[in-house]
Structures are given as structure tokens and as C-alpha cells.
Amino acid sequence: MTEAAARSPAPRLHEQLDTLNELLRRLRGLEQLPAPDDSQAFRDTEAELQQLLDGLHPADIAYLLESLPLQHRLAIWQRVKADRDGEILLEVSDAVRESLIADMDQGEILAAVEPLDADELADLVDDLPTEVLPELMASLDAQQRERVQAALSYPDDQVGALMDFEMVTIREDISLETVLRYLRRFDELPEQTDKLFVVNQDNLLTGVLPLHWLLVNSPEKMVSDVMAPDVNTFHPIDDAYETAQAFERYDLVTAPVVDSTGHLIGRITIDSMVDVLREESESEALSRGGLREEEDIFASAWKSVRNRWAWLAINLVTAFIASRVIGLFEGSIQHLVALATLMPIVAGIGGNSGNQTITMIVRALALDQISPANARRLWRKEIGVALLNGLIWGGVIGVVAWLLYDNPQLGVVMTAAMSLNLVLAAFCGVAIPMLMTRMGRDPALGSSVLITAMTDSGGFFIFLGLATLFLM
């Protein structure tokens, strides 16, 4: 990215979205004319739109495309200069990318991806129509092809899929002066370069030379005197999220990637790590509620139904189970209809409290703060919280139930049921994410649906069960 292109900071983008919507609306009106091309107003609007687009950074265009409904999105996409298509495709979300690629023919796709680097190409390949792949691979030189294939051989959540291959390597037995002269032979350095990688003749990584140290040290010094021998190096099979956490922890900008024998094979940059951190937190938010994947907010209703149906179906099953639990006690309800009125309070408070616990635990697990040694301690604490809340809020609601139905026993049952259901919520709030983790699953996945299922069925059973035992 050049500095000049990045003129418009985020706050102003919202206004540009409004302008864009306005221009598109005007164009649509003018297209109704018998011969729109003859209209000066039409040509002016077209020119204004084109100028707006040409002035925007690819990342900004990506944002605007995300924020437009499909018809407008494609109108803009057709007007974007072809040489920027590839960069924009990289920036948009998967769902939007799909809608853009569906609108391109084979020639356009090949032209769009032509300026991309191997690692970027590898990101896109999965989303391209299979027909273009043979021609695309044939258009690459041997080294490029090998790199694309290497990147494709790693799953998306490993460093190997995210590394790039643009790096400056130097030898350790040269002077900084020589390094400075060598760098001047470049037209530009790879983006984000903050250090040079020092390798020996076998391409074994022996250290790194931060640009800072190159600049503050005397040019007569040798690379070997100045370089840092110990570095944060990563392996292509390292977990991407853990690597991103290391970038965050150690304030890294770039880091070398080496194979199992220590040979330098690529590098990782902060911008792809920021994307990993962002995606992780997004997918956590989505999966908590049981959304399968990122959803294009302007996708058709039918597409959204398919994205959301799985957890709704699970929820239907759990709700049906809860309903059958109530069914067991229909006799008691017939006898004392107040039970039907009060039971959702027990279930609801349990669900809310369980969700609070599970949110805390999922976060602590994501930050790797929970070890088997302190799991028991967490249980003790959460159950303590639950008992306190049960006595306080259960007590309040128990008194209310007593006054409302003039039935002190009902109040006592209510308080007892709330306390017990809160304890159940606390227990499951810790247990569910820990179990999911032990089973190698994402602990956030549908956590909200699962905990609510437990506290609903559990709450109904506890409350109606106690009531049947003590009030009938």
C-alpha cells in the first residue's frame, strides 16, 4: 500500500457510503430515460461515481461493497478498475467474495488475480470456479506455482497458509555499509519489513537484523556483531491464533517462518495476524449463538435460513425436551396453576446466570488461563456465586410469590428451586466449555444454546419436582 492511497480514515467512510447510495439512486432514475447516454446529467453522475471510486483505497472499496445490497454492490464492482479487483477480493468477507466472483467471467478472474503474490493467490483459490484453475496455474512460473501449492498444503488455521515469501535475506559476514548499499538496489522493500533475516549459505536462519539496529549502528560494524541471535521464529504447522497471540504479546511486526530443520521458508506479518485476531473474536461471537459462518447481511432470506438452521433445529429439540419435562408434571400444574406462571422465572434467571458464567469461562479458555489445577477452584467460586445469587434473588422472588398467591410454602419452593437451578447453571457453565475443549471442539460453539437447554429443562424439573413433593 502506498501512503498516498490511504487518505481516507474510517470515520469518513460512512459519509462516502451515503454519497455512493445517492449516486446509484440517481443513476437508476436516469437509466429510465429513453436514451440515458445522451443525457448530460447521466454522464456527469457516471463521472462523479467513477472519480469517487478511483480515489478510494482497495480496503475502502471492500468495505463499501460489504455495505451495499447485491444489486448496488455489483453496479459498483463493474465500475472498479480491473487491476484493483484482486486486492479487493482479498479484503472482502467470504460471503461477499462469492457474490463478486459469481459476477465475473473467466477472463476477468484471471486478470484480477494476475498481480497477486503466491500467498494471496492461495487465499483466493478455494473461492474460484474450478474451470479457471488449470489456466491460472499454467500462467504461474515454477517458483510461484510451488509456493501456491505449499500454501495450499496447510489448513487455514496454520501459519503455513498465512505466511508470505517476500523477505530480504542477508549474510552475517558483511558490514552494515554493504547491507545499506544492497538495500538501495531494491525499488521498494516488502511491505511491513521491520527486520532483515540473516541466513548462512544453506539458508539456515542464524538471526535477524532489525532495521532500527541497522540505522543506529555504525556502518563499519559487521552484521554478526549487531544481529539478534534469538528470535521469535514460527513453524508452518504452528497454530495461527496462537501465533497471533504471540505477535500481540511481544509487539511483533514481522517474524520468520522456518521448517523443522531451521531453514528459512517465509515470514509472517502483523497485518495477517490482526486479521486472525479479528476473525477469531468474530467467529466466537457468531458461534456462541449458533450461526454457522459469517453472513452477508444482504444475503437472501433463503441463504440466511440455511446458515442458521442447524442450531435452531438443535434448539427445537432441547425446547421439546424441556416441554416434555413439564409434561411430566401436568397433574401438579392442573392442581396449582401458579406453577405454570412461575416456572419461566426459575428457568430464565438460570439461563441468564449460566450464560454469564459460560462467557467468562470461554474467554479464559481462549486466553489459555485455565489449567486442570485450577478448574476445581473455578467450580468452587462459580457455585459460591450461584448460591449467593440464589439466596438474594431467589429470596426476593420467593417473597413476591408468597404475597402474590398468599402461599408461603410456594415461596419457599420458589427460593429453593432458584438456588438449585443457579447452582446447576454454574456447574454446567464451567463444565460445558471445558468438556468441549477436552473433546477438541471450539468451546464457544453454541455454548449459549447448550447452557440454556440445561437451565430450562433443569429449572422446570427442579421447580415442578419440588412443588410436587412438598405442595401436593
DSSP 3-state of 161: helix
Which residues, 134 to 153, sit near a second copy by CB under 8 A?
Answer: none
Residue 99 is classified by DSSP as H
Please report whether residue 381 would count as binding a second copy according to CB under 8 A: yes
Give Cα 158 to chain centroid, integer Å. 15
Q: Which of 45, 158, 206, 243 binds a second copy (CB under 8 A)?
A: 243
Please report whether residue 133 would count as binding a second copy according to CB under 8 A: no
* 3 state SS for 275-309: HHHHHHHHHHHHHHCCCCCCCCCCCCHHHHHHHHH
Complete DSSP assignment for 200-232: -TT-BEEEEEEHHHHHHS-TTSBHHHHSBS---
Toward a second copy, which CB reaches closer, 101 or 347?
347
φ/ψ (deg, to 5) at 169: -115, 145
φ/ψ (deg, to 5) at 267: -145, 160
Please report whether residue 376 would count as binding a second copy according to CB under 8 A: no
Alpha-carbon distances, residue 377 vs 364, 381, 383, 419 (angstroms):
14, 6, 10, 20
Tell me how far, at minimum, the Cβ of 265 lies from a second copy, in Å. 17
Tell me how far, at minimum, the Cβ of 205 lies from a second copy, in Å. 13
Which residues, 62 to 101, sit near a second copy by CB under 8 A?
Answer: 63, 66-69
Tell me how far, at minimum, the Cβ of 158 lies from a second copy, in Å. 12
Tell me how far, at minimum, the Cβ of 342 lies from a second copy, in Å. 6
Convert residues 259-298 into a mask of x (bound to a second copy by CB under 8 A) and - (unbound): -----------xx--xx-xx--xx-xxx-xxxx---x-xx
**What are the residues whose beta carbons fall under 8 Å from the beta carbon of 252, sequence distance 6 or more?**
232, 246, 270, 273
Number of residues that bind a second copy (CB under 8 A): 151
Q: Which of 249, 260, 261, 440 binds a second copy (CB under 8 A)?
A: 249
Please report whether residue 353 would count as binding a second copy according to CB under 8 A: yes
The helix or strand, by DSSP H or E, that contains position 450, with its residue range, turns out to be helix 447-471
Please report whether residue 51 would count as binding a second copy according to CB under 8 A: no
User: Is the Cα torsion angle 218, 222, 228, 233 positive or negative in sign?
Assistant: positive
φ/ψ (deg, to 5) at 447: -60, -35
Please report whether residue 447 would count as binding a second copy according to CB under 8 A: no
Toward a second copy, which CB reaches closer, 111 or 364?
364
Tell me how far, at minimum, the Cβ of 125 lies from a second copy, in Å. 22
Q: Which of 100, 113, 124, 349 binds a second copy (CB under 8 A)?
A: 349
Toward a second copy, which CB reaches closer, 137 or 360?
360
How far apart, in whole angstroms, are the C-alpha atoms of residue 275 and residue 271? 6
DSSP 3-state of 157: coil
Q: Which of 76, 163, 326, 416 binds a second copy (CB under 8 A)?
A: 326
Please report whether residue 4 would count as binding a second copy according to CB under 8 A: yes
Residue 35 is classified by DSSP as S
Tell me how far, at minimum, the Cβ of 417 lies from a second copy, in Å. 13
Toward a second copy, which CB reaches closer, 48 or 279?
279
Q: Which of 26, 154, 210, 259 binds a second copy (CB under 8 A)?
A: 210
